[in-house]
């Protein structure tokens, strides 16, 4: 049987072609690798957390990105849960969102506090005002979170021009529904990152486990670490709490140990004190513990470690006279590269008025995955 071709009106033919182009763009987006912004956070925890925009019920936030490659087809974006902070579970919720994407007329370092000045020509309403549901999250078992679990799919894809430029993502929050009721501001603990214009990079350590108390104490020693990449060298910021208290003779020191492997043994002389690192290198920190068993200090002059290398750390305190010791929780981090310069991402946010014409410009941004 002979097949007869179907003739259609030119307008219908144009519609079919447009539909085919859209489907092809979506298929291309499905195949492409997701893009993370800031780009250096793909396998690295951010150095802060944020509740913008999903933790607010009346909010407008723009983010400007120069690290989304030209030709990228964006069919949605997603946020991941903060891992470095010791924050608990967040239940599922929904937010009523409207999202507009455009190519901003300037780079992030020229961002304006006036929202309209960051919107480029021919903005695309990629998501008309609609409720979006989000899964509950808990603190990840390791940094960074394995997935960008808080996803916002778009109804209309946005294609970044082949020449690239600055992508402006404009998110308006019209309301939300949480376990505690509708239209609430709450803590959602999104992973965030602050870039520094001078190229410095701060990397927080992921804390886990529990240490042991000093002989005269009842509270377990805790510690927190930030590793800084300063271009030609590195520094470690260390905070210790509930350590061995100095008696006033300045002989009680804080220490930190670095290892290339995790460890799960106990200190031979103190079997109640776990070792969370192979502790290949030990450093005595400058200064002394306080009489309350506290320490805040910086270990300077470290060489630049290759980026992308996971190290395992532990800290503690010791009285050099009596030998009394305490050990902290375990810590781990991935060594960062130097920070990008100029800054590739900024945010502009008004956290309490979605209809405001202006917001605050900040280099502290949510870590976003475009898919």
DSSP letter for each residue of 332-370: EEEPPPPPPSS--EEEEEESS-TT-SB-EEESEEE-EEE
Residues 6+ apart with CB under 8 A from 29: 73, 74, 75, 157, 371
pLDDT at res. 264? 77
Listing DSSP states for 91-141 in one string gives --EEEEEEEEEEEESS-GGG--SBGGGG--SS-EEEEEEEEEEE--B---S
Instruction: Please check whether residue 28 lies inside any domain of the structure.
Output: no
Together in a domain, 149 and 235: no
Together in a domain, 41 and 183: yes
Instruction: Please check whether residue 141 lies inside any domain of the structure.
Output: yes
What percent of the chain clears pLDDT 90, i.e. is strictly above it? 88
pTM of the model: 0.89
- Which of 168, 132, 102, 194 shows the shortest CA–CA distance to 348? 168
pLDDT at res. 263? 86
Instruction: Please check whether residue 22 lies inside any domain of the structure.
Output: no
pLDDT at res. 32? 79
Q: How many CB atoms lie within 10 A of CB 39?
A: 15
Mean pLDDT of 249-266: 93
Residue 54, token pair as written in the block = 């999903």
CA–CA gap between residue 353 and residue 243 (Å, rounded): 45
The answer to whether residue 16 scores a pLDDT higher than 90 is no
- Which of 179, 175, 128 shows the shortest CA–CA distance to 153? 128
The answer to whether residue 29 scores a pLDDT higher than 80 is no
Instruction: Please check whether residue 14 lies inside any domain of the structure.
Output: no
- How distant, in Å, are the alpha carbons of 153, 190, 244 from that of 54? 14, 8, 42
Together in a domain, 127 and 178: yes
pLDDT at res. 30? 44
Together in a domain, 261 and 131: no
Together in a domain, 155 and 53: yes
pLDDT tens-place string over residues 49-72: 999 999 999 999 999 999 999 999
Residues 6+ apart with CB under 8 A from 158: 73, 74, 101, 124, 126, 167
Together in a domain, 65 and 103: yes
At residue 259 the predicted structure's pLDDT band, cuts being 50, 70 and 90, is very high
Together in a domain, 80 and 188: yes
Class of residue 151 by CB neighbours under 10 A (exposed 0-12, middle 13-18, buried 19+): middle
Instruction: Please check whether residue 180 lies inside any domain of the structure.
Output: yes
Instruction: Please check whether residue 229 lies inside any domain of the structure.
Output: yes
Q: Is the peptide bond before 144 cis (omega within 30 degrees of 0)?
A: yes
326: domain range?
201-334
- Which of 12, 143, 10, 53 shows the shortest CA–CA distance to 348? 53
DSSP state of 142: S
CA–CA gap between residue 369 and residue 371 (Å, rounded): 6
Together in a domain, 297 and 185: no
Instruction: Please check whether residue 86 lies inside any domain of the structure.
Output: yes
CA–CA gap between residue 133 and residue 131 (Å, rounded): 7
The answer to whether residue 8 scores a pLDDT higher than 50 is no
Together in a domain, 180 and 66: yes
How many domains would you assign to the chain? 2
Phi, psi at 18, each rounded to 5°: -65, -40
- How distant, in Å, are the alpha carbons of 55, 62, 226, 277, 311 from that of 308? 31, 30, 15, 18, 10
Mean pLDDT of 34-49: 98
Together in a domain, 159 and 288: no
At residue 236 the predicted structure's pLDDT band, cuts being 50, 70 and 90, is very high
Q: What is the mean pLDDT of the chain?
A: 92
Instruction: Please check whether residue 276 lies inside any domain of the structure.
Output: yes
The answer to whether residue 118 scores a pLDDT higher than 60 is yes
At residue 216 the predicted structure's pLDDT band, cuts being 50, 70 and 90, is confident
The answer to whether residue 19 scores a pLDDT higher than 70 is no
pLDDT at res. 257? 97
Together in a domain, 155 and 237: no
- How distant, in Å, are the alpha carbons of 21, 108, 277, 332, 336 from that of 44? 36, 22, 20, 12, 7
What percent of the chain clears pLDDT 70, i.e. is strictly above it? 92
CATH code (residue 217): 2.60.40
The answer to whether residue 230 scores a pLDDT higher than 90 is yes
Mean pLDDT of 180-200: 97
Together in a domain, 209 and 184: no
Mean pLDDT of 155-180: 98
């Amino acid at each position: 049987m002979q097949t007869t071709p179907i003739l259609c009106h030119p307008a219908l033919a144009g519609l079919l072609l447009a539909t085919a182009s859209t489907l092809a763009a979506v298929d291309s987006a499905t195949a492409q690798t997701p893009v993370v912004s800031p780009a250096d956070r793909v396998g690295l925890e951010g150095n802060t957390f944020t509740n913008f925009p999903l933790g607010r019920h009346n909010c407008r936030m723009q983010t400007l990105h120069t690290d989304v490659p030209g030709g990228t087809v964006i069919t949605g974006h997603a946020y991941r849960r903060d891992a470095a902070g010791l924050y608990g579970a967040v239940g599922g919720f929904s937010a009523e969102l409207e999202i507009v994407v455009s190519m901003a007329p300037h780079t992030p370092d020229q961002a304006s506090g006036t929202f309209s000045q960051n919107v480029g020509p021919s903005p695309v309403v990629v998501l008309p005002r609609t409720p979006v549901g989000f899964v509950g999250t808990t603190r990840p078992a390791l940094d960074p979170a394995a997935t960008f679990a808080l996803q916002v799919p778009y109804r209309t894809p946005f294609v970044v021009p082949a020449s690239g430029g600055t992508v402006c993502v404009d998110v308006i929050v019209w309301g939300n529904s949480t376990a505690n009721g509708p239209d609430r501001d709450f803590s959602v603990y999104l992973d965030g990152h602050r870039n520094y214009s001078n190229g410095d990079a701060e990397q927080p350590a992921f804390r886990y486990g529990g240490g042991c108390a000093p002989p005269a104490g009842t509270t377990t020693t805790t510690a927190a670490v930030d590793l800084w990449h300063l271009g030609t060298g590195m520094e470690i910021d260390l905070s210790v709490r509930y350590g061995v208290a100095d008696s006033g003779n300045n002989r009680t020191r804080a220490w930190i140990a670095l290892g290339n492997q995790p460890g799960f043994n106990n200190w031979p002389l103190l079997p109640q004190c776990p070792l969370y690192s192979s502790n290949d290198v030990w450093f005595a920190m400058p200064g002394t513990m306080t009489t309350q068993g506290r320490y805040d200090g910086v270990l300077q002059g470290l060489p630049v470690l290759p980026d992308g290398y996971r190290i395992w750390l532990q800290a503690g305190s010791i009285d050099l006279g009596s030998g009394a010791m305490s050990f902290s929780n375990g810590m781990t981090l991935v060594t960062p590269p130097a920070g990008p310069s100029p800054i590739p991402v900024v945010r502009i946010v008004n956290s309490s008025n979605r209809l405001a014409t202006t917001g605050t410009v900040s280099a502290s941004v949510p870590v976003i995955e475009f898919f």
